[in-house]
Structure 1
Amino acid sequence: GANKGNLVEYLQGFEHTCAVMQTKEALERIAYEMMEDMYKDGVCYVETRFAPVFHTQKGLYHEDIIQAVLQGLENGKQDFGVGYGLILCGMRNMKNTLEIAELAVNFRNQGVVGFDLAGEEGGYPPKKHLDAFQYIKQKNFNITIHAGEAFGKDSIWQAIQICGALRIGHATRLVEDMVFDKDGNIVALGELAQYVLDTRLPLELCLLSNVHTGAVDKLENHPFIKYYKEKFRVFLNTDDRLMSDTTLTKEYLTAIEMFGLNLDDVEKLNINAMKSSFSPYKTRLHYIYNVIKPGYQKMREKLLSLKV
């Protein structure tokens, strides 16, 4: 498994999976099967991300890689009815992030919905890739950044204020900008945390992988429930389903069992996720009011009928 306790060793596992993702056929198939997995997991819309640079070992060009993944996603959408958006990742420890940012914009009308910066945080602050972020912002496109996972709150601040992130991945270290009482309740927020709360900046939280990477020492200490109770716009994600042996259902069940969430909480988290997606505004409204809300209402009615 990938339960290594630190991010660097966790990321090493990708060498094995990427080794079998070096042809257009393999990439298309894996993207398609991912959509099938989403359907089986009850997902109605997914934003998935990957780094094209890891799939060039057999000579594929970045454009070919992206097109193959998009084809697999589109085929999956047609067969399973799951909506999607693709996010392209630049890597912190590499210098070609501007090229990936340009590709993200080039494919924006073909299914790519945003640009991400991923990889090891230590020694690779997001501001080192400012040219990529400036390009994305000038093109009125979407930015999400892995920040505050293995590095402190300054990484989150840089991601938002220097690089223009519209969402933050993980953000477990935002707790460093909060004051807690002896019972662990938030009693004061620092300027950064207050800004994140006030601007409704979405936080992409990953319960199980944060334990596996050592971002939190144990599940009960994950800041998710503190953020949620304080009304931060949080939602649950899987991070890497294979590495952490998880599904979105498993993440929700974990939150229910560990933090006592109820059906209303789960619905709220799903609405938060859809509000925060990089899909067009009308698409977000469609999923919230025509899929998510009716779906949870049907679930409530079913639960009530079982109680009678």
Structure 2
Amino acid sequence: MPCSLSDFYVQLPKVELHAHLNGSLSPATMRELVERKKATKPELANFRIPDSLEMESFFPLFKFIYQLTDDVESVRIAARNVIDEFARDGVKYLELRSTPRKNEETGMTKRTYLDAVLSVIEEPRQDIVVKFIISIDRRNTLEEAQEVVDLALDFRSRGIVAIDLCGDVHTGSFENLRPAFERAQANRFPVTLHFNEIKENMVEAPTLLSIRPNRLGHATYLDDYCRKTIYKENIPVEICMTSNLLCKTASTYEEHHIRELLNDKHPFILCTDDKGVFFSDLSNEYKLAGEAFKLTHEELFEISLRSIDAIFSDEKTKNGLKQQWFAWREDFKGF
């Protein structure tokens, strides 16, 4: 049966490789967590949860969300809802990411936080494959970064597939954390790095690229050296269009830096970053890219299909996903 225009973006099978757990909470999940916590934290009920994007509201929203996910059971609820929402949006393979967190008040440790997320990821599902990327925050000390690598090693068999560098782009230094990432690589963990999100980050780009990362997040600003290196090494870029516009690192969708990657046929993956906070799920990111660059449904299918090559999983998983994609295209050959 042919796929209608309105259904195409949701029904198109998709890969999501840059999704922060806490930033992906929908308003419905936020309200659910408020209900279970308001007896002990009544102030949470006073926070107005938006139902659509409000430019002045999304930074306070992050702080609010961290208060909602400060205990193990809330983390489980959040992870389960986020995964279910991605699945309903046509995502067939998801790499969720988060920095392990602790809260002395609730007794949550970094280990129990991670166990909570992974226990949900391990739940049986028919419609989506889920893996986990464990993040090191730029603000971490080297000792804290090494602790994250320890956790990755301890929990590896439960679906941790890579290490990420994330956090406030204005703080911290990758060079201070480099030994932790080198240790992760020595233990065969792929690495993805939030890269050149702002112009001020470009000074450390050669250092970041020197460890030969497997993927890069955003890569908003590229000078000649960065572009030449990234293209030569064929490093896929995780693209988050709405996030970049809202954070003012891109001025319009039509002028977004994905344009150069499209023109140069360099591998990239359309992603959401924080779908709950930015009110843009992955089907919407495909819609935005399609409209901004006048892409056909076949071209959007090919973008989604090529994204499979960038996942942090084995060839068997990749081949299985590609077969699923081709079967879908056969069923919807009318598009």
TM-score by length of 2: 0.78
Q: Distance in 1 between matches of 2:206 and 2:62?
A: 28
Q: What residue in structure 1 maps to residue 116 of structure 2? A: 68
Looking at both structures, which has the greater relative contact order when contacts are Cα pairs under 8 Å and sequence separation is at least 6? 2
Secondary structure of the residue that 1:242 maps to in structure 2?
Answer: helix
1:121-160 correspondence to structure 2 within 5 Å:
121-150=169-198, 151-160=200-209
Shift in CA distance, 57/101, structure 1 to aligned 2, threshold 3 Å: farther
Q: Is the 8 A contact 1:21 1:55 kept in 2?
A: no
Are 1:3 and 2:55 an aligned pair?
yes
Contact 2:271-2:285 within 8 A present in 1 as well: yes
Task: Give the superposition deviation at 1:166.
Answer: 1.0
Match of 1:38 in 2: 86
Question: Cα distance, 1:18 vs. partner?
Answer: 1.3
TM-score, length of structure 1 as denominator length? 0.85
CA, structure 1 residues 281+79, in 2 after alignment: closer, same or farther (shift >3 Å)? closer
Figure out how many residues of one structure are paired with residues of the other and give that number: 280
1:32 maps to a residue whose letter is R
- Determine the C-alpha separation between the residues in 2 that align with 1:11 and 1:133: 29
Partner SS for 2:193? strand
The match for 1:17 among 52, 65, 69 is: 65
2:220 maps to what in 1? 172
Which residue of 2 is the match for residue 108 of structure 1?
A: 156
- 1:278 is aligned to 2:312: yes
* Match among 119, 133, 139 for residue 87 of structure 1: 133
CA contact (8 A) 1:18 1:54 kept: no
Contact between 2:101 and 2:109, CA under 8 Å: does it hold in 1?
A: no
Three-state SS of the structure 1 residue aligned to 2:280 is: coil
Residues 170 and 204 in structure 1, CA contact (< 8 A), matched pair in contact too: yes
Q: Read off the aligned partner of 2:85 and give its amino acid letter.
A: D
Q: What SS class does the counterpart of residue 85 from structure 1 fall into? A: strand
- How far is 1:154 from its partner? 3.6
Contact 1:105/1:141, CA 8 A, preserved across alignment: no
Q: Distance in 2 between matches of 1:271 and 1:156?
A: 29
1:84 deviates by: 1.0
Between the aligned residues of both structures, percent identity stands at: 22
Quick one: structure 1 residues 240 and 61, their matched pair in 2 at CA, closer, same or farther if it must change by over 3 Å?
same
Aligned: 1:302 with 2:334: yes
Whole-angstrom distance in 2 between the partners of 1:124 and 1:131: 15
Distance 1:3 1:297, change over 3 A: farther
Matched residue of 1:116: which SS?
A: strand
CA deviation profile, 1:88-120 (whole Å, cap 9, x unmatched): 111101211111122112211111111111112
2-structure distance, mates of 1:120, 1:16? 17
- Cα distance, 1:10–1:172 mapped onto 2, change above 3 Å: farther
The 8 Å contact of residues 149 and 173 in structure 1, kept in 2 or not, is answered as yes
Instruction: Select the residue among 261, 269, 273 that pairs with 1:235.
Output: 269
Distance 1:2 1:94, change over 3 A: farther
Task: For 2:206, give the aligned amino acid.
Answer: W
- Corresponding residue for 1:186? none
* TM-fit CA distance, 1:240: 0.3
Structure 2 counterpart SS, 1:173? coil
Which residue does the alignment assign to 2:30? none
Amino acid at match of 2:255: N
CA-based RMSD? 2.0
What's the secondary structure of 2:130's corresponding residue? strand
